[in-house]
Amino acid sequence: MVSVNKSKLKKVLITIIIAILIFSAVSFTATKLIYDSIFPRYDCKVSEYPATLKSTISSRKKVSYPSGGNLLSGYLYESTAQSKKDTLIIFAHGHNACSDNYLWQIYELLELGWSVFAFDATGTCTSEGDSTVGFSQELNDLKSTLDYIESCDRFCYNNIALMGHSCGGYAACCILAYDYNVSAVISVSGINSAMEGVIGASTNYVGPLAYGNYGFLWLYQSMLFGSEMVNLRADRILSESDVPVLLIHGQNDEETPIDKYSIVSHKNEIKGENTEYFIRSSPNNSGHTNILFAKDGTADDQVIGKINDFLEKNIK
């Protein structure tokens, strides 16, 4: 009788193990399919640039440099304003966007005397790559960009500031975990971490079930980027950094809600004294992307003014 019970128990355990393995295989496969569908290659749509921006485009210098196994395209915009500053702003774009989507912001910064280096991330527009890989790839690409600019002697600029939108805002903050000489950071609509950003994006596909696959999402990203990078969180890094940071967010942001996924949602956990906040609540330009734009499609003067004041105050 005892041996019969042991045999039945063994069969039950084997059945449970097989069921777990099948569930894990199916869940991991589903996770990979959903994840990869969030990060396809993004190619810019060709459009006619307004006359105001044509001189900005014609005068920029295009360069190429490696990030992993791909070549990235970067664009150096040097200000010719009389009040030209000794500062280069490195701009990191958001998900499903490219550097040219922010030409009005670049134009306004140039007019104020700030020079800008903008790049297309992996799998985006003029840069190589079959896909955009994931939110952590923007951090990898920003690291490669800083390495390249350092190798060019910073193009003779003494100060480096970082500015990013969405996942670019996450990268601009999380880069402070590494040994780079950065004078200031501006993050607009920034996600707090790659995991939070992916969970937020996944809920658009499968709703609350995304949280059930949290472990598989973490595992897959760790396979792509390493667990150390995946575990980086902007709120924790800002708490330990003495670099001045400006966090800009919209009250009506639906892609990275102000109360979840965003860096600002962790405001109470950010212990550093060098972080400033600018929250927009007006109905027409307090969303994820329109926070940067005026009604006519040009750069929002209030946001650009806030960025300029922040940089003037913190970069001497």
Is the pLDDT at 191 greater than 80, yes or no?
yes
pTM over 0.85? The answer is yes
| Residue 298 or residue 46, greater confidence | 298
Q: How far is it, in rounded angstroms, from Cα 111 to Cα 90?
A: 16
How sure is the predictor about 48, in pLDDT bands with cuts at 50, 70 and 90? confident
Average pLDDT along the chain:
90
> Which long-range contacts does 309-315 make (Cβ < 8 Å, 24+ apart)?
310/184, 310/186, 310/244, 310/246, 310/276, 311/85, 311/87, 311/89, 311/114, 311/161, 311/184, 311/186, 313/244, 314/183, 314/184, 314/244, 315/85, 315/87, 315/159, 315/161, 315/183, 315/184
Is the distance from CB of 145 to CB of 124 less than 8 angstroms?
no
Q: Which residues lie across from 116 on neighbouring strands?
A: 77, 89
How sure is the predictor about 270, in pLDDT bands with cuts at 50, 70 and 90? very high
Q: How far is it, in rounded angstroms, from Cα 226 to Cα 246?
A: 28
Cβ atoms within 10 Å of 262's Cβ, excluding its own: 30
Q: What is the mean pLDDT of residues 147-166?
A: 97
Is the pLDDT at 47 greater than 90, yes or no?
no
The backbone region for 95, taken as left when phi is positive above 0, alpha when psi lies in -120 to 50, beta otherwise, is: beta
Is the pLDDT at 195 greater than 70, yes or no?
yes
**Percent of the chain residues past pLDDT 90, beyond the cut:** 73
- pLDDT computed for residue 266 by the predictor: 95
Nearest to 134 by CA among 87, 50, 75, 202: 202
Is the distance from CB of 165 to CB of 189 less than 8 angstroms?
yes
Predicted confidence (pLDDT) per residue in 3-24, tens digit: 656 677 667 676 677 666 665 6
Report the sign of the C-alpha dihedral through residues 17, 22, 28, 31, in that order.
Answer: negative
Is the pLDDT at 111 greater than 80, yes or no?
yes
Predicted confidence (pLDDT) per residue in 56-85, tens digit: 999 999 999 999 999 999 999 999 998 999
Is the pLDDT at 280 greater than 60, yes or no?
yes
- pLDDT computed for residue 44 by the predictor: 84
- pLDDT computed for residue 109 by the predictor: 98
**Which three-class secondary structure state does DSSP give residue 57?**
helix
104 Cβ contact list (under 8 Å, min separation 6)? 53, 293, 297, 298, 299
- pLDDT computed for residue 20 by the predictor: 64
Is the pLDDT at 100 greater than 60, yes or no?
yes
Domains and CATH numbers, the chain: 1-38+195-225 (no CATH), 51-193+232-314 (3.40.50.1820)
How sure is the predictor about 216, in pLDDT bands with cuts at 50, 70 and 90? confident
Is the pLDDT at 206 greater than 60, yes or no?
no
How sure is the predictor about 207, in pLDDT bands with cuts at 50, 70 and 90? low
Burial state string for 75-103 with b = 16 or more CB within 10 A and e = fewer than 16: bbbbbeeeeebebbbbbbbbbbbbbbbbb
